[in-house]
């Protein structure tokens, strides 16, 4: 999942940027859309940036999920390789990873091929045929954007 829409207040460091009101609403809409997901994620990994932490908290609350949540520094400035390493480390658990662009679009593309753009607050479900070698082994099952979540349309 890519974090929801964040503000850019003057004088605030990038890592401390908060969500906008729209971002909070988008995160709630995504969480509500995901609430019926079965199985729910057992593990959530998030960047330490304020906007990803806020997104994670709102999505989990709106979905009614309780999951082990880990803050991972490498998800803030890291790239695709760091995300792939994290995927390998999560064994067979259903995992939600919350991070940033341009890494998220590049990661989904690396996992599944093609070209994917992850807008803010979008979440993609990917089935991997080989978690030990995730690059290229994924199938994109679905992707939900806030607009789809609010409209009730299928992803």
CA distance 135 to 140: 13
**Cα distance from N-terminal residue to C-terminal residue, the chain:** 14
Pairing of strands 95-98, 43-46: parallel
* Segment 31-46, tens digit of pLDDT: 999 998 878 898 999 9
- The residue with greater pLDDT, 133 or 81, is 81
Topology of domain 14-151, per CATH? Rossmann fold (3.40.50)
Longest dimension (CA), the chain: 45
Model pLDDT, residue 91: 65
Report the percentage of the chain scoring pLDDT > 90.
71
Q: Which two tokens stand for residue 126?
A: 């990917």
Give CA separation, 34 vs 14, 69, 152, in Å: 28, 17, 11
Q: Which residues have CB under 8 Å from 107's CB, separation 6+? A: 80, 83, 84
Model pLDDT, residue 133: 77
Model pLDDT, residue 76: 96
Q: Is the pLDDT of residue 85 over 80?
A: yes
Give CA separation, 82 vs 30, 97, 104, 115, in Å: 25, 12, 11, 20
The per-residue pLDDT of the chain, averaged, comes to: 91
Model pLDDT, residue 56: 97
- Domain spans in the chain, listed from the N-terminal domain onward: 14-151
Q: Give the residue from 49, 58, 53 showing the smallest Cα distance to 17.
A: 49
Model pLDDT, residue 92: 67
Q: Give the residue from 45, 47, 44 showing the smallest Cα distance to 14.
A: 47
Model pLDDT, residue 132: 73
CA distance 51 to 62: 16
* Segment 88-144, tens digit of pLDDT: 887 667 789 999 999 999 999 999 988 999 999 999 999 888 777 778 888 999 999
């Amino acid at each position: 999942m890519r974090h929801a829409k964040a503000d850019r207040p003057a004088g605030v460091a990038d890592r401390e940027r908060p969500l906008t009101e729209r971002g909070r609403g988008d995160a709630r809409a995504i969480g509500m859309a995901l609430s019926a997901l079965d199985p729910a994620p057992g593990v959530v990994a998030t960047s330490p940036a304020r906007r990803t932490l806020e997104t994670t908290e709102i999505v989990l609350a709106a979905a009614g999920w309780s999951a082990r949540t880990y803050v991972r520094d490498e998800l803030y400035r890291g790239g695709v390789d760091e995300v792939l390493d994290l995927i390998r480390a999560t064994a067979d658990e259903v995992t939600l990873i919350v991070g940033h662009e341009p890494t998220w679009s590049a990661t989904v593309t690396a996992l599944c091929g093609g070209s994917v753009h992850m807008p803010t607050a979008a979440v993609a479900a990917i089935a991997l045929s080989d978690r030990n070698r995730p690059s290229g082994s994924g199938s994109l099952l679905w992707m939900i954007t806030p607009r789809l979540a609010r409209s009730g349309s299928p992803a």
